[in-house]
Amino acid sequence: MVGGGKDAFIGAVHRIAARIDGEYDLVAGALSSTPERSRDSGVALGLDPDRCYGSFEEMAGAEAARPDGIEAVAIVTPNHVHGPAAAAFLRRGIHVICDKPLTATMAQAAELEAAIRASDALFILTHNYTGYPMIRQARAMIAAGDLGRIRIVQVEYAQDWLTEAAEATGTNKQAEWRTDPERSGAGGSIGDIGTHAHNLACFVTGLTVESLSADLHSFVPGRRVDDNAHILLRLNNGARGMLWCSQVAPGNENGLRLRVYGEKGGLEWGQEDPNYLWYTPFGEPKRLLTRKGAGAGDAANAVSRTPGGHPEGYLEGFANIYTGAARAIRAAQASQRAPDLDLLPGLEEGLAGMRFIDACIRSSRDDAAWVTP
Amino acid sequence: MVGGGKDAFIGAVHRIAARIDGEYDLVAGALSSTPERSRDSGVALGLDPDRCYGSFEEMAGAEAARPDGIEAVAIVTPNHVHGPAAAAFLRRGIHVICDKPLTATMAQAAELEAAIRASDALFILTHNYTGYPMIRQARAMIAAGDLGRIRIVQVEYAQDWLTEAAEATGTNKQAEWRTDPERSGAGGSIGDIGTHAHNLACFVTGLTVESLSADLHSFVPGRRVDDNAHILLRLNNGARGMLWCSQVAPGNENGLRLRVYGEKGGLEWGQEDPNYLWYTPFGEPKRLLTRKGAGAGDAANAVSRTPGGHPEGYLEGFANIYTGAARAIRAAQASQRAPDLDLLPGLEEGLAGMRFIDACIRSSRDDAAWVTP
Amino acid sequence: MVGGGKDAFIGAVHRIAARIDGEYDLVAGALSSTPERSRDSGVALGLDPDRCYGSFEEMAGAEAARPDGIEAVAIVTPNHVHGPAAAAFLRRGIHVICDKPLTATMAQAAELEAAIRASDALFILTHNYTGYPMIRQARAMIAAGDLGRIRIVQVEYAQDWLTEAAEATGTNKQAEWRTDPERSGAGGSIGDIGTHAHNLACFVTGLTVESLSADLHSFVPGRRVDDNAHILLRLNNGARGMLWCSQVAPGNENGLRLRVYGEKGGLEWGQEDPNYLWYTPFGEPKRLLTRKGAGAGDAANAVSRTPGGHPEGYLEGFANIYTGAARAIRAAQASQRAPDLDLLPGLEEGLAGMRFIDACIRSSRDDAAWVTP
Amino acid sequence: MVGGGKDAFIGAVHRIAARIDGEYDLVAGALSSTPERSRDSGVALGLDPDRCYGSFEEMAGAEAARPDGIEAVAIVTPNHVHGPAAAAFLRRGIHVICDKPLTATMAQAAELEAAIRASDALFILTHNYTGYPMIRQARAMIAAGDLGRIRIVQVEYAQDWLTEAAEATGTNKQAEWRTDPERSGAGGSIGDIGTHAHNLACFVTGLTVESLSADLHSFVPGRRVDDNAHILLRLNNGARGMLWCSQVAPGNENGLRLRVYGEKGGLEWGQEDPNYLWYTPFGEPKRLLTRKGAGAGDAANAVSRTPGGHPEGYLEGFANIYTGAARAIRAAQASQRAPDLDLLPGLEEGLAGMRFIDACIRSSRDDAAWVTP
């Protein structure tokens, strides 16, 4: 693991997600940006001190040289480190599981793209919300035509943790780097959570954004990146949509919600209650589909661990990406292609996300003009 | 009553709303556009046949001439009749309670404005959703500063009854006139329900829309007006917002929902569950305020009839407009101004709605350019 | 109207319910137990002072003697007055619409039964919750066999307004008479709200209670009647059930909830969200049936006024009893039987309720022994 | 691990729960009741074939003899094996984590009690629902007096998977042993899920059941144990309650719900939406407390892994028991007592559960007479 030392919320999430299905052992790390803190964090996690490295470069070199070196690495640093770190491992044939967004800048994204294309190793991007069983169910239903031609996509991701200037208190590392364009990229809320919303909408519908009109805004005085974004979407099949993301909406903890409407029906899902999917065939009563319940199909059941009514959550959804990655890695080691590889987000989704962020910023600077991502 | 004969959903609603608090008696009507059907409908409603008129002109003249003539008239026709009918009664000093939107066209609106300004009689526009107790509560809380400065306004109004071409079946009068630009005006969903969403957002926040960017669309082949609208909003205090209205979103019956976020807290309300208002002071647990419950204040209690937990609905909210109008009429008859007259929608709100429709259409024709309503 | 003067919550409810569909005019009343207050209340409601009476006896006599005397009377007094007041009108051939429970005591019930049987006039008991459209829907579905043989009935009615000793504050008339055995009867919560729960369960399932085991309790020191009741039910088809009612459960405003499970499916309904009915055919996804929505049938639609998504509530449900009574009265005046008379609660339901209260008290005094109602 | 081979739902749950926080490695097992299947299951899970045993006796002996033998064992067999298996390991000083209920019979429970008391090793019973953060929150709030004296406890656990005779199809191992008195014990639903409801109510309130009146029933023809139970409760502080459990209630997947009402407030929680806890201080609006949200305190936060809005579920709650057990074992190895040992269910809770089952059966056989557990 690269990154994920103390104070790093997402590192612990990745570690649990990797453990849930027993497919990974954590054996090495460059967990912090200073050698000493990296070692401390590693030992605290039970790593062999010899495999606690001071930098990702050192780690990539040393692990590649070991006969028992790591097969895959998780990169969970701030965004500006994603690119160089991933490249260092990919170059050495080590599979990479990387947090989103792909990188902090378009230039870094292009460099990383080259590194990925030049490597035989796999690159998986943890757009974790695509791992939820009922999201897989929604995608499968739309692919099967249950909604008919898609007309409308309403997606939103609302939080409230940046309602005040948390980055200015001196005690909130998360808020600091996520509102720092040097580390986070030019997008604030749009990069941190808007990309998740964009990715989810595309994953579920199978559509792409053809053009968008974005009105980004920063409500908190002194904030250097957007904390709210209102975006009109035109999708490649003629569908229209809206995307709202905000980190200043009091009462919203982690409100990622997706609604899709087609000629024949509608689907509604919310991340905070992820075991439910609302399905309305036009002209019939609304149905509550539940994970592993009567209405759940193969796509959902393949990534469920417990019977209906035993709620699975964020960590299990995240674990579905990790376990899918493990299967893909195992297949790759056998020179095969995992059958469900197309369900795993990777380079393509990462580039789409970067183009989305870039397009939003371009559009917003041009007073919400329509731009092509 | 003008309009509201057979097959007219909204006429029956107005009649019940007028009855609930016992403030009105229905004694005369021009209920249909043909004299015979008007008479039949009137007699079926128990009207004296002598007071069932063949046209609103006839009715206005005859009632104004009677010593026991009507004090007020309800106009519940298709939109293109609102203006001339209202003017006919206003001219004769008869108070008018009129369905929204104000008129079908901007030109009609200007004519009606002149008629209203020239009359001593009151003109009330039934933006009925402002009559809900918890909407009054929300408005009062925002006015009192409970949310601090408002930053974000998310409002939507989703239905599904026009998902298919109901207007082409030959059996759905409602669908026919509401999708006919001659009778409904140039706006489809934006005029029928978008104006309610716009009005509600402004009523609750006390803000106005400074500029908007609208993407209107008609998904059903052959439909002559928009059936879906995606709109970016910029409000006069610097707040930003989104408005979505749709009549082709399967699974939505009458989904008018409003969310408002400010520096200090957030409010969320949905029309289908109108007795609840969610309030989150930033940094504290979300609270469920209920009509006549512990968290409801004077503004809500003044328009509630039953204790908490005894749900009041659409008709009671509508009745609150009618009963407010009765108080205003009684005050006017005593040459006074009713203390809560500013809570009643009228000319100003009607013009704002017309400018909103017009701005949406102008913006959409210009590829969602920003326009001023 | 008898009773229903100032401070009387339920009187105003009856008046609105009678008005909603325009079937009744309020023309006379004995609204309070003292002549003077009765007159004041009547005049405040717009009654002719000549028809504001000092007692129900006076009113019954005078109205029966008038050529334009009332056709029907609503009795909305405390429980101990129901019997004698109803009898006074029935004796004179005036139809009676009476609040529940039937009377305060079994002896009064027997006397009233005799009066009803001796009269040609109708006797309607306002078990108003049976008027909700989705309750009619549930009843029709069960009667049609959609749930198969019923096995389990879970019904509850929870409130919190008596959590503290509201009757001892000297300012709460409602709390005073409802906790006074002389006026309310020996049952407290069991009479006030438990009877509604019992009636609703029987109305929906078509079953009767064969035996019950009741554990009544009074939690508030000094309270003279039960404020909480836990009851096991055995129904006449072999089904089992539970009834809980409480007036000391903080967080419950008017929580009447019914769940019925059969061999083939389940139904769930809650009074505070009355436009929804949850239906699960065993082995299929849960469906949300909505008033006037795709899954609503004739039984519900017959008592609905507005399209789906336009919430109807407590007053509309109550009005359905009043309007049903109007149809029944009109039929009776034509010497006919209204086709839906069996949907209206009356003597039979009233007696069942009295036997239920009596059985609960007997059982509880015998340490929750099984008794037959 | 003993038990938990193929077809064993709960074995996989225990393995994931043990892995989530990285405190356990699975190294040995007697996973099935036949040596061959045990070996197959073990190898499939990646165990060393030498540590795949044919019986728990063999495993206990061999592991105790190894220098690297297991420190703790998880017992996840049908109920009748719990006692002898646990005793075999406890006798050898190996800590035991055992599924509930304690045993199949009271006699087995007494034997196991003796074995536990005679051993220095720890015995943890996986009443896993006590591991949910918001359940810990509820317990802490009640202990702190937030609800005042507790008056009413409503607990229920409803499922529908045995609505039909699943045990007679020949394909449902779960249904077979859970309805077989030889393997499950005399209680059906009451033992399988009623014990969870009983345990949860006692854990949260800190109260015990002083007497109960139970009406058990088996609705499915041919079923040998109860599939529905209705129970009145009297608690040791004078509170009253109800417990309903059912496996034949269509539409309920895993509906464990707890509501507790006291003199000063109420709490409501449902297992299927476990990140929420509803709290109403009497006379104030209802509040929605969320895991790691503004209203969550130390007791909940200590067992939460992710920020609010990132749902944790059944497996995380289960893992909290396992991780608590790991801390307790580590403390025991250091001859200390873990500070939160009293939060872990063990012998005392197991015996209370057995007495509860036994009392229900005794009461029900005596027509729901009051009995003391």
B241 interaction partners in chain A (CB closer than 8 Å): 230
* Ranges of chain B whose pLDDT falls below 70: 7
Predicted pLDDT of residue D5: 87
| Chain C residue with the nearest C-alpha to that of D152 | C249
Predicted pLDDT of residue B9: 81
CATH at D170: 3.30.360.10
Mean per-residue pLDDT, D245-249: 98
Asked whether residue A51 is assigned to any structural domain, the reply reads yes
D278 and D211 housed in the same domain: yes
Q: Which of D249, D265, D268 sits opposite C152 (nearest CB)?
A: D249
C365 has a pLDDT exceeding 80? yes
Predicted pLDDT of residue A80: 95
pLDDT digits (tens, 9 = 90+) for A317-329: 999 999 999 999 9
Asked whether residue C325 is assigned to any structural domain, the reply reads no
> Is the bond into B101 cis (omega within 30 degrees of 0)?
yes
Asked whether residue B192 is assigned to any structural domain, the reply reads yes
Mean per-residue pLDDT, D295-299: 96
Alpha helix (H) ranges present in chain B? 9-20, 35-44, 56-65, 79-90, 106-118, 133-143, 173-178, 181-184, 189, 195-205, 298-301, 314-333, 347-365
D105 and D184 housed in the same domain: no
Predicted pLDDT of residue D28: 97
Of the three residues B78, B100, B121, the one that is the final residue of a domain is B121
pLDDT digits (tens, 9 = 90+) for C39-62: 999 999 999 999 999 999 999 999
Helix/strand/coil for C219: coil
Asked whether residue C2 is assigned to any structural domain, the reply reads no
C6 has a pLDDT exceeding 80? no
- In this prediction, residue C91 has a pLDDT band, given cuts at 50, 70 and 90, of very high
Mean per-residue pLDDT, A127-138: 98
Predicted pLDDT of residue B317: 98
CA distance D293 to chain B (A): 7
pLDDT digits (tens, 9 = 90+) for A143-182: 999 999 999 999 999 999 999 999 999 999 889 999 999 9
D232 and D356 housed in the same domain: yes
Of the three residues A121, A155, A170, the one that is the final residue of a domain is A121
For residue B198, give Cα distances in angstroms to B108, B155, C309, D181. Answer: 20, 8, 19, 64
CB contact under 8 A, A232 and B228: no
B87 and B234 housed in the same domain: no
CB contact under 8 A, B265 and A251: yes
D13 has a pLDDT exceeding 80? yes
| Chain C residue with the nearest C-alpha to that of A297 | C285
Asked whether residue C273 is assigned to any structural domain, the reply reads yes
Interface of A with D in 154-173 (CB under 8 A): 159, 161
- In C180-309, DSSP assigns E strands to 209-217, 228-235, 240-246, 255-262, 265-270, 276-281, 286-290
C145 and C47 housed in the same domain: no
Mean per-residue pLDDT, A39-48: 93
B175 and B96 housed in the same domain: no
CB contact under 8 A, A251 and B244: no
Predicted pLDDT of residue B56: 97
B87 and B221 housed in the same domain: no
Sign of CA dihedral B338, B344, B346, B349: positive
| Chain C residue with the nearest C-alpha to that of D160 | C282
D264 and D232 housed in the same domain: yes
Of the three residues B73, B93, B121, the one that is the final residue of a domain is B121
Residue pair D245/D229 in contact (Cβ under 8 Å)? The answer is yes
pLDDT digits (tens, 9 = 90+) for D309-357: 999 999 999 999 999 999 999 999 999 999 889 999 999 999 999 999 9
Q: What are residue B157's DSSP bridge partners?
A: B245, B256
CATH at D42: 3.40.50.720
Q: Which of A240, A242, A264 sits opposite B242 (nearest CB)?
A: A242
- In this prediction, residue A339 has a pLDDT band, given cuts at 50, 70 and 90, of confident
d(CA B195, CA B360): 11
d(CA C270, CA C275): 9
Interface of C with B in 280-339 (CB under 8 A): 290, 293, 305-316
Interface of D with C in 42-71 (CB under 8 A): none
Mean of the per-residue pLDDT values of chain D: 96
pLDDT digits (tens, 9 = 90+) for C183-237: 989 999 999 999 999 999 999 999 999 999 999 999 999 999 999 999 999 999 9
pLDDT digits (tens, 9 = 90+) for D107-159: 999 999 999 999 999 999 999 999 999 999 999 999 999 999 999 999 999 99
B117 and B97 housed in the same domain: yes
Q: What is the ipTM of this complex?
A: 0.96
Helix/strand/coil for C328: helix
CA distance B291 to chain D (A): 11
Predicted pLDDT of residue D339: 87
Predicted pLDDT of residue B245: 98
Predicted pLDDT of residue C339: 86
D277 has a pLDDT exceeding 90? yes
Interface of A with D in 10-49 (CB under 8 A): 12-13, 15-16, 19-22, 46
CA distance A181 to chain B (A): 23
For residue C265, give Cα distances in angstroms to B259, C149, C243, C280. Answer: 37, 9, 20, 5
Contacts of A37 (CB under 8 A, 6+ apart): A5, A6, A31
Nearest C-alpha neighbor of B102 from the set B91, B88, B89, B116: B116
Number of domains in chain B: 2
Asked whether residue A311 is assigned to any structural domain, the reply reads no
CB contact under 8 A, B294 and D283: yes
Interior CA angle at A297 toward A294 and A301, to 5°? 95
A155 and A82 housed in the same domain: no
D284 and D190 housed in the same domain: yes
A5 has a pLDDT exceeding 90? no
Give the whole-number percent of chain D exceeding pLDDT 90.
Answer: 95
D116 and D197 housed in the same domain: no
- Structural domain harbouring C28: 9-121
Mean per-residue pLDDT, C10-19: 95
Q: What are residue C213's DSSP bridge partners?
A: C232
D369 has a pLDDT exceeding 80? yes
Asked whether residue A259 is assigned to any structural domain, the reply reads yes
What tokens appear for C36 in the block?
A: 């003077």
d(CA D232, CA D216): 12
Asked whether residue D225 is assigned to any structural domain, the reply reads yes
Is A275 an interface residue toward B (CB < 8 Å)? Answer: no
